[in-house]
Amino acid sequence: MMGGVEGGTATGAGGSGQLVTTFITFGLVILIFYFLIIRPQNKRKKEAENMLKSLSKNDKVVTIGGIRGIVQAVKDDTVVIKVDDNVKLEFSKSAVSTILEKRASKQDSSVNPGKDENSQE
């Protein structure tokens, strides 16, 4: 009989211990999801927002659809991209996936025209 009483007491204590273990397991799963999925996704979103904010004229870009061109104008929600000599397309800013090359505008290069010559000497 003693074995039966001890078994009943152990089951009661084991039930509350099992509940704590379950909560700890769920907590660990939530932490893993946060660090492996949610945090990197938020980081990428913030980087994309910063990239779109830094868009400027003469930047070489690629759109989500794979169109490559040079930014001609940046408006509030759109960007005009020159893809050929006489072809300009207007895209939503969110359609720009990457900036391939940050180029200084022609006005910036005319301010310091001798800068490249001095660096070669």
Q: Are residues 24 and 48 in the same domain?
A: yes
pLDDT tens digits, one per residue of 52-63: 999 999 999 999
Burial of 67 (0-12, 13-18, 19+ CB in 10 A): middle
For residue 63, being part of any structural domain is answered with yes
29 vs 32: CA distance, rounded Å: 5
Residue 58: how many other CB atoms lie within 10 Å: 17
Q: How much is the pTM?
A: 0.60
Please say if the pLDDT value at position 121 is more than 80.
no
Task: Provide the token pair at 13.
Answer: 């204590």
For residue 80, being part of any structural domain is answered with yes
Residues facing residue 49 across a β-bridge = none
Q: How much is the pLDDT for 53?
A: 92
> Residue for token digits 């180029």?
103
CATH number for the domain harbouring residue 83: 2.30.30
Q: Are residues 14 and 46 in the same domain?
A: yes
Q: Are residues 37 and 77 in the same domain?
A: no
Q: Are residues 41 and 13 in the same domain?
A: yes
Residue 47 structural domain: 1-53
Q: Are residues 44 and 69 in the same domain?
A: no
Task: Check residues 51 and 107 and name the one with the higher pLDDT.
Answer: 51
Tell me how many domains the chain contains: 2
- Residue 77 confidence class, pLDDT cut points 50, 70, 90: very high
Please say if the pLDDT value at position 48 is more than 80.
yes
